[in-house]
Amino acid sequence: MTDINVTCIGGGHGLGHLLEIINDFDSVNLTGIVSTTDNGGSTGRLRESCDTISWGDIRYCLSKLSKSASAKEPSTKSLLFEYRFDNVGDLSGHSLGNLMFCAVDSLCIRPTETVQVMREYLGIKANILPMSDAVTQLVSYSGEQCHVGEVEVDDHASQGINKLVLTPAVKPSEEVLNTLKNSDVLFIGPGSFFTSSLPCLLMEAVIDVINHNSKLKVYFITNVEDEFGSDYSQHDEIHYQLEFMKDLGLTKTVHSLIPCHRVSASIELCKPYTIAKLPGDNGGRHLQPFYRDQLFELIQREELNNIN
């Protein structure tokens, strides 16, 4: 059977868990394109001091894939990668993995190359790409209010966002564009919609290559629960999110994967969709056995379509 090219776009824990599951599937060439706009915690401090892209979400994805590559048992390398300093002065709060990224980045020409060095160090087969090699900030507009930086955007997202941009505007790497050009399946999400799922889609070249890939099937993996709850002004969160992606210029049909407990009265506005039994775990993530079965079914369906 010919391998199927699967690409996942996102950030934070949602993308890491998604990649970990798909990485176990046979006949899949897997790539994760990771948001690099985080400006909080250890990542934010390093952005300011080293003028570098955000490494935290990339580190987390590599750590999850490293665990998968070592028969579900964390290797010494992955444990070191996730080690966080405590009560050691200026190092307190920093992840050793983030510091390793900064060290390797000082020896490489581009962050994309830095990620490949760390991927080889951890023995990971799946490809991981930063969304861009350039440093940028996520900026949102809510009415007359402007919020700069991913932390601020996240803190005020429940107020509603009229516009989301990258400042300065940056371009994706050729590796990102070539990956999307040759992808058969694209998964967007799950995770924080504005700060994990969307940053990569704010680059015009990414939208263009997705729209022009005629064979590409795009799936939007919705979260286990409403992200903004009753405080959100939109009557249907999933429909609003789909419309927001269209407003960014995405013309490809987006197929939503929706947990059955999130079906709303206006679900027909979200066509096409798959409604599935997708309960959450204690951390608010998709419960892995159900999640795995549903992802496997979707990818298998696309494999059969490619054959036919």
Task: Tell how strand 127-130 and strand 254-259 pair up.
Answer: unpaired
CB 38, CB 60: distance < 8 Å? no
Highest mean pLDDT among 61-70, 130-139, 281-290: 130-139
φ, ψ for residue 98 (rounded to 5)?
-60, -40
Q: Decide: pTM greater than 0.85.
A: yes
CB 221, CB 189: distance < 8 Å? yes
Task: Tell how strand 273-276 and strand 254-259 pair up.
Answer: parallel
CATH number of the domain bearing residue 246: 3.40.50.10680
In the chain, pLDDT over 70 holds for what percent of residues?
A: 92
Phi-psi region of 218 (alpha: psi -120 to 50; beta: other; left: phi over 0): beta
Question: Domain of 22?
Answer: 4-307
CA distance 216 to 107: 36
Q: What is the pLDDT of residues 106-165, one digit of tens each?
A: 888 899 999 999 999 888 999 999 999 999 999 999 888 999 988 999 988 888 899 999
Residue 197 is classified by DSSP as: I
pLDDT band at 233 (very low <50, low <70, confident <90, very high): very low
pLDDT (mean) for 35-47:
85
* Tally of structural domains, the chain: 1
Q: What is the pLDDT of residues 164-212, one digit of tens each?
A: 999 999 999 999 999 999 999 999 989 999 999 999 999 999 999 999 9
Q: What are the CA-CA distances from residue 159 to residues 35, 155, 164, 216, 219 (Å)?
A: 22, 9, 13, 34, 26
